[in-house]
Amino acid sequence: MKRRIIDAKFFTAQVTNKTIWLFISLKDINDIEGWGEVSLQGKETEVYKIKNDIFKIILNQNYTSPYDFKNKLPFSNIVEACISSGLMQCLWDIQGQFENKSISSLFGIQRSSINIYANFNRSTIDRSLTGVMASAKKVASQNFDFVKFAPFDEVNPKMETNEMLSSMKKGLDRISSINDIFGNKTKIMIDCHWRFNYEASIELLNECKKFDLYWLECPIPENLENINSIRKLRSIANKFGIKLAGLEKKILKDGFYKFLIGEAYDVMMPDIKYAGGPDEMIEIEKLFLKNNVEFSPHNPTGPISHIHTLHVCASVKNNALMEHQFEETSYFQKLLNSSLPKIVNGKSQINTVASGLGNSINKIVLEDLN
């Protein structure tokens, strides 16, 4: 049967005052439609501007497998990688539907239950201690084993070290309040969003050792020049029983390689929207396995990337811990034509016998958002 992509569409969904999700769909000559997500916070305009140039690479080209396009798509920067990764998501969705198999079945199913952690940062609008504690209590009622929050709103990477240290005090108070809510039953991860420098990060780790954190994420910028500093921070963190995590915006396997060789992190967090799509995510996990690094997919955005990431986690060898944005917006479910797999006690089931992705965007709801 002939295989050819004949149409590509781009969709925008403004789901909160701050959050925009971006989706793409491809349709092939057999009228099979596949979906991908290309959300890239702060760079939505850049994604929009170059999308058509990248769409042209795959439109009206005969093919037999998504792999036929992998080496033709551009991955030279985060914007190109986002669109190319989204197209690979679409292509694997179409491939699964074409073969009447789930995406996870195409790669080999290892499990149907996925470990999920709740990122409740974006759903916490009130950043006061009262607001943070109220949000934490809501998450605690759902019995997650792992949760994540980004508490350092007042810290700016342009600050001098002393100013960083004084500005992080409110963030430490937020961690303390979260710690009081969750106690010993739930492991807490703290995201720093690259706000600190090396010297301030050392002091931050000293302050955090009393909280029994599971991991500290992205304390300093992740350029190649900082690999040695990141490795030293990892060593300090490990002495306190804390893991160091990062690398949510790296592209393809090559983007992680020097950090792996440099032993920078205990946990690395590829995102299906930037790392190259489902097939590349699975290859990245294999690379991590060889280097004794935990694979924990970054996934704080919309429902299409969420389901694609579930399929990846169902297919990798180790049972990964996958991120989930906790109740940022009801559109996380409303935008879909079918119900999402429920998360119960920190675990999500996935329909491994679905066709392709097993879900799609409801275009009527999407139109109402625009």
| CA Rg value for the chain | 20
Q: What gap in Å lies between CA 74 and CA 72, rounded to an integer?
A: 7
Residue with token string 């996925």: 114
Whether 197 shows a pLDDT value over 90: the answer reads yes
With bands split at pLDDT 50, 70 and 90, how would you rate the model's confidence at 368? confident
* CATH of the domain spanning 105-349: 3.20.20.120
Mean pLDDT rounded to a whole number for the chain:
97
Beta-bridge partners for 11: 23
The owner of tokens 């403004």 is: 14
pLDDT of residue 139: 98
Stretch 280-299: mean pLDDT, rounded? Answer: 97
Check: CB of residue 52 under 8 Å from CB of residue 28: no
How much of the chain, in percent, has pLDDT values that exceed 70? Answer: 100
CA 109 to chain CA centroid, nearest Å: 21
pLDDT surpasses 90 at 179: yes
Contact 256, 284 (CB under 8 A): yes
DSSP 9: E
DSSP state of 23: E
Residue 369 is predicted with a pLDDT of 85
Establish whether domains 5-100 and 105-349 are of one fold.
no
Q: Is residue 2 very low, low, confident or very high in pLDDT (cuts 50, 70, 90)?
A: confident
Residue entry with tokens 């690979």: 88
Percentages of the chain per state (helix, strand, coil), in multiples of 5: 40, 20, 40
Helix (H) or strand (E) holding 237: helix 227-239
The pLDDT tens digits of the residues spanning 21-78 come to: 999 999 999 999 999 999 999 999 999 999 999 999 999 999 999 999 999 999 999 9
CATH 3.40.250.10 corresponds to the domain 5-100: no
Query: Span 128-134, mean pLDDT?
Result: 98
What are the residue ranges spanned by the domains of the chain? 5-100, 105-349
Predicted local distance difference test score (pLDDT) of residue 370:
76
Percentage of the chain modeled with pLDDT above 90: 96
Whether the Cβ atoms of residue 342 and residue 137 lie closer than 8 Å to each other: no
- What's the pLDDT score for residue 351? 87
Per-residue model confidence (pLDDT) at position 176: 98
Residue 265's nearest CA partner among 298, 229, 290, 211 is 229
